[in-house]
Amino acid sequence: MSWILIGAASFLSAVLGALGMGGGGILVLYLTAHAGVPQLQAQGINLVFFVPVAVVALCIHQKNRLIHWGIALPCIFLGAIGVYFGVKLAMLLEQKLLGKLFGGFLMLIGLRELFAKSKSPPPRVDKNEK
């Protein structure tokens, strides 16, 4: 039974992860709320889980020419600084508190998405345009 749940949870999380929309939240939630995995271990599993998801998704997105590396690269370099301090903080905090903080963070983001003013999307950047 549990392998069906594992399959379903990982499949659903990966679909959302490849869409770039918070698939991680679902897997961490499944692991902590249903599988009884401690918060920090759930987060570690989620990070490793994201590797094949991202590789597959990136190959397809690259083929569809949807990735803007010129904007991605500065985000990656600055993000690496954040990773260092984020991991430090995760190790310092009590795991239960870490879980609550994660929930609060997701709630804020979700509410913002739902109640965001609907504005017209920016014009699509055509890479073949000269």
Partner 1 sequence: MQRKKRGWMFYPLAVVIGLLSGLFGAGGGVVAVPVLRGVGLAEDEAHATSVSVTFPLAVLSAFLYLRAASFELSAAWPYLPGAFLGALLGAWLLPKVSSAWLRRIFGAVIIFSAGRLLLR
Residues 5-34 that bind partner 1 (CB under 8 A): 6-29, 32-33
In the complex, least distance from residue 5 CB atom to partner 1, rounded to whole angstroms: 10
In the complex with partner 1, which residue's Cβ is closer, 1 or 125?
A: 125
Residue 11: what residue type? Answer: F
- Chain positions 68 to 107 lying near partner 1, rule: CB under 8 A, are 68-69, 71-72, 74-76, 78-91, 98-107
Q: Which of 1, 37, 94, 97 binds partner 1 (CB under 8 A)?
A: 37
Give the position of tokens 């991605």.
Answer: 72
Residues 47-66 that bind partner 1 (CB under 8 A): 47-61, 64, 66
Which lies closer to partner 1 via its Cβ, residue 1 or residue 114?
A: 114
